[in-house]
Amino acid sequence: MPMVHKFVDGEDSHRWAVRAASWGLLPRFGWNKKEYPELKCELFGREFKNPIGLAAGFDKDGQAITQLAKNSGFGLIEIGSVTPIPQPGNNRPRVFRLLEDEGVINRYGFNSDGVGRVHQRVRSARDAWVPEQYAYFGVNLGKNKLTEDAKLDYEIGVNYFAPHCDYLVLNVSSPNTPGLRSMQKKSDLEKLLAYVKESLDMHKLEKRPQVFLKIAPDLIESEMKDIAQVVTNKKFGVDGIIVSNTTIARPDYLKSENKAETGGLSGAPVREISTECVRKMYKLTNGQIPIIGCGGVFSGEDAYEKIRAGASLVQLYSAFVYEGFPVIGKIKRELSELLKRDGFAHVSEAVGADHRPKQN
């Protein structure tokens, strides 16, 4: 990986990694494929091989769905964000490694092949799906840059992908699309979620996908309380939340010369911010709604912290940039060891453990 970082631009290496994954050039043996009985978990009536997932942003256009779901070792994978109309995103350069900080700043701006082309790839992959062997599969939905009424864009995404995925994600928290984060305001969020639920109800699907809301880590306490009230209200049809997206904050300790670049910061620098956000949302929702913890997961310890803070599942992406696919096996192995160390027979027992009274 250091050689890649030295000689290959961040976006080019990203593109090559997706292509390699689509060709099946993934580790087929070793720790990645090993599963642990204590990491099996059940959510939404579905059994997960493990709680470690791939976050949106890696396979934006669904080019490597089958290989990632079958051979990566992940328990869940998520593609996107997908916009209704194809759009190029922001101008290059738009991806910057913060090598000294193990971070990444991106301002892609929802570059997407659009729902039509991505839908074809999703259909093709799902036609040969083996649920017992493959990862739980989600599609992350975004809006086009020039769309004024955003809820219409999310409706299009629902119409295209609801019949062909296990879960849908409403991404209203990317910092790289103007005005998008304002949709996290209570009134706007209620309108969006009610509209999406109505759209989903119209499909009358036998297997309805779960709906997740992806939120930013930069919310203030009052905004978190509003979101907690909305997502726990069953009339809005939210099944879970993803905490969190990239941050626009820049911690004082950042060393890289790229720290001043505009965009969303991910990787190790967002680890504590996102974990604290998980902790707060779990408390505000009284643990009533599943949380997927996302942000700065590089090790089993990182995943364990988010699980103890309240996450039922965790996702990673930036760890790929620095450690490649073997990081999946490392995280699972380390997480298993930590659960055993602390006397948990099963990962579900550790969810929200930090909120429970300590026993003497």
The edge-to-edge listing of strands for the beta sheet with 103-106 is 95-98, 103-106, 264-267
By annotation, the residues acting in catalysis are: 174
Show the domains of the chain with their CATH numbers.
Answer: 2-353 (3.20.20.70)
Tokens (6 digits) for 277: 């956000």
127, 66 Cβ separation under 8 angstroms: no
pLDDT at 30: 78
- Residue 8 C-beta-side C-alpha neighbours within 13 Å: 14
- Give CA–CA dist 69/53, Å, rounded: 10
- Residue 137 makes CB contacts below 8 A (sequence gap 6+) with 65, 69, 76, 77, 78, 126, 129, 165, 166, 167
Alpha helices by DSSP H, listed for 235-323, are 271-284, 300-309, 318-323
pLDDT at 8: 81
pLDDT at 184: 97
Query: Model's pTM, two decimal places?
Result: 0.97
Cβ atoms within 10 A of the Cβ of 319, count?
23
Among the listed residues 140, 144, 106, 72, the one whose alpha carbon sits nearest the alpha carbon of residue 292: 140
Indicate the pairing of strand 264-267 with strand 103-106.
antiparallel
Q: Give the residue ranges of the chain where pLDDT is below 50.
A: none
